[in-house]
Structure 1
Amino acid sequence: MSSPRTPVVFVPGLWLHSSSWAPWTRFFEDAGYDPIAPGWPGEFATVEETRRRPEALAGHGFDAVVSHYQRLIDGLPTPPILIGHSFGGAVTEKLLGLDRAAAAVAVDAAQIKGVLPVPLTMLRSALPGLRNPANIRRAVSLTREQFRYGFGNAVSPQESDALYEQWSIPGPAKPLFEASVMNFSPRSPLKVDTRNDRRGPLLLITGGKDRTVPPAISKATFKRYEKSGAVTELKEFADRGHSLTVDHGWREIAEFSLKWLQNKGF
């Protein structure tokens, strides 16, 4: 009788549909895992329907997203591996700190409470959501040009536009507002237990050309984990931008993540 496959939960970030993880789920399934890629609360099964009904995503904050994935994890037979991108990376960090996962890979993970650098490129990338205070109750879409700046700057304009057409969806602006004030809020939902010694291993991945989550953010996040005895490692891909999980070079990131997890015994 074969042993059960290890579950892997893929968590997207803002502005990318969960189906953008499809190449990764196939890759991990072929490697012997049991992967799923559920969307954020309010996301529909297809990109097209999600674009047509943005109101379903509106108003969901970071805690609501974390609780959504926690309920999904509770239905799994064993604690999963979590792999998240951008705000999905911050979700994986939060859940790992709560001991809800066996291990985690956070790719270009959004800033968590206590991480202080605020690069100008990151502010510009977040501006579509933050420019109007009323957006805190809305779901906001990126334009093609905004996507190219925040996601596709390290690939050709043609590839960036193709990724935008294929995967881009509206995203709730509330997590952006929560992140903008988190370091002034003692009860910020983006507070992560970075000192947990019992948690599983964590790999932080950063793209050297990322404008939405610049390397300075990932490096400062890595330092937040210095007081934990648990395994935390950082890997930089110098020539990659925020689209690194979905663009033509996704497999390089997936292969590194898989090898790292296998080296840790998963």
Structure 2
Amino acid sequence: MEIKALQAKATQIRMDLLQMIATAKTGHTGGSLSNTDILTALYYRIMNIDPKNPKAEDRDRFILSKGHSVESLWSVLADRGFFPREDLATFSQFGTKLIGHPNNKVPGIEMNTGALGHGLAVGVGMALAAKRDGASYRTFCLMGDGEQAEGSVWEAAMAGSHYKLDNLIAIIDRNRLQISGSTEEVMGLDPLEDKWAAFGWHVVSIDGNDMKDLVDTFATVPAVAGKPTLVMANTVKGKGVSFAENVPHWHHHVPNELELGKALAELTAALELYEQKGEVR
């Protein structure tokens, strides 16, 4: 997909996840909206994956360590064909596999996540296994910024550098908001890039809602031989819905009927704009 088509796809994914959350009457809205562009770049342009063979040995691995923001991932996996789109309507319903965190009974999910701070450690293990097996696959791990307060993240960061895992790419959805407010008020993180660099990682800071920035950056990894890469994706929580952007309340707010209608109208207008320009293909 070209950049404009990826932007249009991300808009469609946002519409799907909002409808899914509204139908289920539960979900984590703000973080799913902020990480949608990251997932779209990875799943439609960057990663080596095959929905028809989700367990292919040479597939790139993806771990959503911030597992509570799974709604965007479910929407992407359904759209890519890992499972039927109709299943999105069962999100968080009794007996569904599409629960509120990644569930590895669903094709395309590598591990159950949700306890923050665990994803990168498992990613280190996957990347180390690839090195020792002489395998070519890469491991991508998406974390939240509030998650950086977990000590296990830094143990994994130290191990990734020690083992020179240049096939490991960690991404931080740096939207600067968590459930109880600003990350810098809850547990100050800055200078976060400097901390990761001090742990021996190659650090790249980008606009995490800019599709070209995302694609150009991910296309270069592994970027430095012998070093894992940390992509600091500076994002806007609630991205794409004007009245949800940078509003802490939308961390797990479920849109009511009026809010859903306004949000879908905004996103539909954005999608129509892409199509009018003739840049969606």
| Both structures adopt the same fold (TM-score exceeding 0.5) | no
Bigger RCO of structures 1 and 2 (CA < 8 A, at least 6 apart): 2
TM-score class, shorter: 0.3 to 0.5
TM-score by length of 2: 0.34
Structure (1 or 2) with the larger CA radius of gyration:
2
